[in-house]
Amino acid sequence: MARGPEAILEEWLVVEAQRGRTAALQALAVRWHPRLVGHAYRRTGHPDAAAEVAQEAWIAIIRGLTGLEDPAAFRVWAFRIVDRKSFDWIRRRRRGRALANRLVADASLHDPDCDPGPEARPREGDGRDERIEQLRLALRRLPDDSRIVLTMLYVDGLSVIEIAGALRLPEGTVKSRLFHARKQLRDSFEAQS
């Protein structure tokens, strides 16, 4: 697979950051922070949690960057770290919920509706058409696994191989999830038409 100028620049930034160049690390953060927050949001479903997870992930990235042997693997490696930190957050939240459930009998207090976050809400007068909103609703209805592989492919620009590496899944599983997710989206749009 041919590497484009963006991939080469990214690899150079990783190498420079490994050498201790703060400007290179800052450039990596500028390029990757929004994507990592987005991935954490897709995993946790909470904007505040996504920001917290991304911050924890950056700490791990900075600490582990010198040990990354292949600069081209940065994006997969970073997504793996975000995944791990997201699952840690989910486990901590579940433990906290279990404790709260023991203390308070009303379970509905501990299960608020998932807020899609400010970036997912339409803004007044921003010109978004109805089809985009339909797509967002259809995406939200997808199972987490399907939604995550779709957004990693189309939003984050990762290849199937990179998604498989980041999620530690076989390529065939990623391809299958993409196939089924696309079919579910198509069926959802056909039902609305």
Give the CATH number, domain containing residue 62: 1.10.1740.10
Among the candidates 81, 111, 141, a domain finishes at 111
Percent of the chain past pLDDT 70, that is, above it, reads 79
Residue 27: count of CB within 10 angstroms of its CB: 17
Residues 20 and 62 in one domain: yes
Asked, for residue 81, whether it belongs to a domain, the answer is yes
Residues 3 and 67 in one domain: yes
Give, in order, the Cα–Cα distances in Å from 87 to each of 76, 108, 109, 140, 150: 17, 23, 22, 19, 19
Angle, vertex CA 117, rays to CA 112 and CA 120, nearest 5: 130
Among the candidates 111, 138, 171, a domain finishes at 111
φ, ψ of residue 155 to 5 degrees: the values are -90, -50
Residues 135 and 72 in one domain: no
Q: Write down the mean pLDDT value for the chain.
A: 80
**Domain containing residue 175:** 128-193
Cα maximum dimension of the chain: 58
- Whether residue 110 is predicted with pLDDT greater than 80 in this model: the reply is no
pLDDT digits (tens, 9 = 90+) for 9-21: 999 999 999 999 9
Whole-angstrom Cα distance, residue 47 to residue 37? 8
Read off the pLDDT of each residue in 89-102 and give the average, rounded to a whole number.
Answer: 66
pLDDT of the residue at 118: 47
Residues 107 and 138 in one domain: no
- The CATH number for 168's domain is 1.10.10.10
pTM of the model: 0.61
Whole-angstrom Cα distance, residue 87 to residue 103? 24
Three-class secondary structure of residue 111 per DSSP: coil
Residues 61 and 147 in one domain: no
Number of domains in the chain: 2
When pLDDT is cut at 50, 70 and 90, the band that residue 2 belongs to is low
- Whether residue 128 is predicted with pLDDT greater than 60 in this model: the reply is no
pLDDT of the residue at 120: 45
pLDDT digits (tens, 9 = 90+) for 50-83: 999 999 999 999 999 999 999 999 999 999 999 9
Residues 75 and 12 in one domain: yes
pLDDT digits (tens, 9 = 90+) for 131-146: 677 777 777 788 888 8
Among the candidates 82, 111, 140, a domain finishes at 111
pLDDT of the residue at 96: 60
Residues 38 and 104 in one domain: yes
Helices (H), 104-192: 130-141, 144-154, 160-167, 171-192
